[in-house]
Structure 1
Amino acid sequence: MRLIGLAGWSGSGKTTLLSRLIPELAARGVAVSTVKHAHHHFDVDRPGKDSFVHRESGARQVLVSSARRWALMTELRGAAEPPLTELLARLDAVDLVIVEGFKRDPHPKIEVFRDANAKPWLHPEDPAIIGIAADVAPPAGRLPHLHLDDVAGIADLVLARAVTLRG
């Protein structure tokens, strides 16, 4: 599998870009999976659902299955959040894994930047950033820059710069 990340502040457009990038890559025959880093208190389950009752009752893992999909929820119950490498090891093999978030991890990343967000650029402080997708030109520098709407160009950059995972 190959890996690349999208990193940026909340509201920068990472999810919007990813929702446009996945179909572009799929049209090129690339099988894509994603890993999304979420806020501390996110939940995919809802009160009143049986799976929620199972978890709230103390089950460490709950696997929910149907004819359309399955999902495994694991309660950490005070344990540390698993590192990205451990999460990646749980995925089935695909051509490319795109990581959204995990901006402090050292994997190669494309910085997603939106000027209206009024946040600082990440790339001056992060040597793992290998390109920029933004709605404004970045400060002069060494990195390739593409507009947020240039999905085909960003897909080209992703495919050129994704790294092969070992192990």
Structure 2
Amino acid sequence: MIEQSRLVTPVLGFAGFSGSGKTTLLEAVIPHLKSSGLRVGLMKHSHHDIEPDKPTKDSYRLRYAGSDQLLLATSKRHMLFFEYRDNEERDPQLRECLAQLDHSRLDIVLVEGFRNETLPKIEIHRPSYVKPTLFPHDPHIIAVAYDQKPDALDEFNLPSLDLNQPSDIAGFIKHWLANAPESEKYLAYELKL
């Protein structure tokens, strides 16, 4: 049964080109958010095939026996596997992935990747990587985190964040959570109940 779309948990993206340091930044920011008492969910988009299991493990054997979904549950964690066996390349859909999270246990969902999706985002930019900035073409970028200020940033009146100050970036996120309009913080998506 699918319930009507609901506004469940604030969602904030971290967008940038590969190698810009999104994962490294998130790894440094999350402990600051956690120390404030926030329950943080994270969704990471990858273009690589992943195999988080070993062939000798029961869960691996059961997945390869043909299960379409497998939930591996332990006292410490749950892992949910979805298998797409139709040999069709299937790019994950942000809203579908969001619906799979347990929102009753989260205060915010941070999204790494999905840079072309419509959601509020912090852009990660390093001019030394010689990649273009995203903010001039993406109205959903609400701040830019960088190690050297991009030239065009002043024209756009966006908050600028120092990549080397994860506590300040966490502070920006907490301020955004407390003050952003509801229409900016939430994405509507269907929850399967």
TM-score (norm 2): 0.79
Moved more, 93-102 or 73-82: 73-82
Structure 1 residue identity aligned to 2:110: I
CA drift of 1:65 comes to: 2.0
Match of 2:73 in 1: 65
Q: Which runs of 5+ in 2 are unaligned?
A: 1-8, 178-184
CA distance in 1, matches of 2:16, 2:71: 32
TM-score (norm 1): 0.90
Q: Which runs of 5+ in 1 are unaligned?
A: none
In the alignment, structure 1 residue 27 sits paired with structure 2 residue 35 = yes
CA distance in 1, matches of 2:171, 2:186: 16
Moved more, 93-102 or 157-166: 157-166
CA drift of 1:126 comes to: 1.4
Between Structure 1 and Structure 2, the one with more strand by share is 1
Q: 1:117 aligns with which of 129, 134, 137?
A: 129
Moved more, 146-155 or 101-110: 146-155
Aligned length in residues: 167
Counterpart of 1:51 in 2: which secondary structure?
Answer: helix
What does 1:9-20 correspond to in 2, within 5 Å? 9-20=17-28
Per the alignment, do residues 60 and 19 of structure 1 end up closer, same or farther by CA in structure 2, a change over 3 Å counting? Answer: same
Contact 2:16 2:113 in 1 (8 A): yes
In the alignment, structure 1 residue 153 sits paired with structure 2 residue 165 = no
Counterpart of 2:167 in 1: which secondary structure?
Answer: helix
- What's the C-alpha RMSD, in Å, of the aligned pairs? 1.8
Q: Which runs of 4+ in 1 moved over 4 A?
A: none
Contact 2:20 2:124 in 1 (8 A): yes
**Paired-residue identity, %:** 43
